[in-house]
């Protein structure tokens, strides 16, 4: 099957999905988010698929975030609505899939890109990977679950520092933090993930799907945090800081935030 901005390959029981917009560092626009939803739904419904690997096309990026050119003009209402819709279509959808998903982080995983990797069940990164949530540099907060999943994975203090500084960390530090499970050379990344997928594929798919549900349930006892994120994210879209941050990126200059 063909999906817009995606490439799919089958390796026995393991599916490999590429986000395929390398000229835009695989940034997630609306069409790509919808295509990912369709592709994941179809793969999950196929009993022959026992694990899925997600990566970006090209050597430079997994996904460099949501497509800034697309969301720069959104109003607060649109921002809030689209955050909720994106979480339902892709981020929560991937997290709750019955089939395990491995993020193969082959370069930049920023903003919505890191949020997508964190929604996957397992993360493996290549040495050149750079991970971060730079949203506050654009006058936004992470809007696809990042304010919840990052502290779950690395703890509240480290998560706050990474979010407030809009910084990027290298693969080794991400491993030290527990944000990625393994680090490999870029040329070994696919093989490493395929082997990991192959080991998973030997085990009982129903039991794995039940394990996913049980592990997730422990982190979702209350959805208050996710709901608060959607609301706060929506507020950002009405601010001068957001207008300045996104315009500065598009004009390739440093932002000057007016603040509160
Ligand atoms: N969006 C759109 N285009 C992007 C992009 C992005 N996130 N990231 C890179 N590109 C484009 C660049 O504009 C450039 O396009 P051209 O100028 O060639 O046409 C091309 O990809 C190559 O990028 P660079 O020339 O910048 O490459 P460099 O190697 O110099 O720099 C970089 C690589 C990753 C450091 C840099 O590209 C960069 O800083 N990228 C932006 C990172 C970022 O801030 N990402 C967004 C985080 S915010 C929403 C929900 C969630 C979100 C938004 C909305 N709604 C529900 C509405 C989430 C927001 C985010 O993800």
Enclosing domain of residue 122? 6-187
Query: Ligand 1: residues within 6 Å at CB?
Result: 24-25, 27, 64-69, 71, 74, 79, 82-83, 86, 108, 110-112, 134-135, 138, 140, 143-144
Q: What is the pLDDT of residue 55?
A: 98
pLDDT tens-digit series, residues 17-28: 999 999 999 999
Distance CA 215, CA 71 (A): 33
Which listed residue (115, 161, 187, 229) is catalytic? 115
Atom of ligand 1 nearest to the CA of 61: 34
Give every CB contact of residue 109 below 8 A, 6+ residues apart in sequence: 61, 62, 63, 103, 116, 117, 125, 129, 130, 131, 132
- 175 in any annotated domain: yes
- 143 in any annotated domain: yes
252 CA → ligand 1 middle, Å: 11
136 CA → ligand 1 middle, Å: 14
Distance CA 136, CA 233 (A): 11
- 211 in any annotated domain: no
Atom of ligand 1 nearest to the CA of 84: 56
Is 159 within 8 Å of 114 (Cβ atoms)? no
Distance CA 36, CA 153 (A): 24
| CA-wise closest residue to 129 among 182, 170, 94, 90 | 170
Q: What is the pLDDT of residue 80?
A: 82
Candidate from 19, 62, 64, 142 with most ligand 1 atoms within 8 A of CB, to mutate: 64
- 215 in any annotated domain: no
Distance CA 194, CA 210 (A): 22
- Tally of CB atoms within 10 A around 213: 11
CATH number at residue 92: 3.90.226.10
The residue that leads in pLDDT, 65 or 80, is 65
Alpha helices of the chain — where are they, by DSSP H?
30-45, 68-71, 76-86, 92-95, 112-119, 146-154, 156-165, 171-177, 189-201, 205-219, 224-236, 240-250
63 CA → ligand 1 middle, Å: 9
- 260 in any annotated domain: no
The structure tokens listed for 51 are: 């694990």
115 is catalytic: yes
pLDDT tens-digit series, residues 136-186: 999 999 999 999 999 999 999 999 999 999 999 999 999 999 999 999 999
Which listed residue (9, 38, 78, 135) is catalytic? 135
Distance CA 74, CA 239 (A): 11
Residues facing residue 8 across a β-bridge: 17
Q: What is the pLDDT of residue 75?
A: 84
pLDDT tens-digit series, residues 216-252: 999 876 778 999 999 999 899 899 999 999 999 999 9
Triad 194, 197, 203: Cα angle to 5°? 150
**Residue 1: pLDDT above 80?**
no
Mean pLDDT, the chain, as a whole number?
Answer: 95
Give every CB contact of residue 20 below 8 A, 6+ residues apart in sequence: 5, 6, 7, 26, 57
What is residue 62's three-state secondary structure? strand
Candidate from 19, 25, 113 with most ligand 1 atoms within 8 A of CB, to mutate: 25
Is 43 within 8 Å of 52 (Cβ atoms)? yes
- 150 in any annotated domain: yes
- 229 in any annotated domain: no
Q: Whose CA is nearest to atom 21 of ligand 1?
A: 24
- 86 in any annotated domain: yes
Distance CA 179, CA 159 (A): 10
**Number of domains comprising the chain:** 1
pLDDT tens-digit series, residues 70-121: 988 888 888 888 888 888 999 999 999 999 999 999 999 999 999 999 999 9
């Amino acid at each position: 099957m063909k999906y817009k901005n995606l490439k799919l390959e089958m390796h026995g029981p393991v599916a490999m999905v590429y986000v395929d917009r390398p000229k835009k560092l695989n940034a997630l626009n609306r069409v790509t988010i919808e295509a990912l939803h369709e592709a994941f739904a179809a793969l999950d419904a196929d009993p022959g698929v026992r694990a899925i690997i997600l990566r970006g096309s090209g050597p430079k990026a997994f996904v460099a975030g949501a497509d800034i050119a697309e969301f720069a003009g959104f109003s607060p209402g649109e921002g809030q609505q689209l955050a909720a819709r994106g979480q339902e279509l892709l981020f929560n959808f991937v997290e709750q899939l019955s089939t395990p998903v491995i993020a193969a982080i082959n370069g930049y995983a920023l903003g919505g890109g890191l949020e997508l990797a964190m929604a996957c069940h397992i993360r493996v990164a290549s040495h050149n990977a750079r991970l971060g949530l730079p949203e506050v540099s654009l006058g936004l907060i992470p809007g696809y679950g990042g304010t919840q999943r990052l502290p779950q994975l690395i703890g509240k203090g480290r998560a706050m520092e990474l979010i407030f500084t809009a910084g990027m960390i290298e693969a080794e530090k991400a491993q030290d933090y527990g944000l990625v499970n393994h680090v490999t050379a870029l040329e070994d990344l696919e093989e490493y993930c395929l082997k990991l997928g192959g080991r998973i594929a030997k085990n009982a798919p129903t039991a794995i799907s039940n394990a996913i549900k049980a592990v997730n349930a422990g982190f979702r006892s209350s959805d208050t945090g996710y709901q608060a994120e959607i609301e706060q994210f929506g507020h950002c879209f009405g601010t001068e800081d957001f207008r300045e941050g996104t315009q500065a990126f598009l004009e390739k200059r440093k932002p000057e935030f007016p603040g509160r």
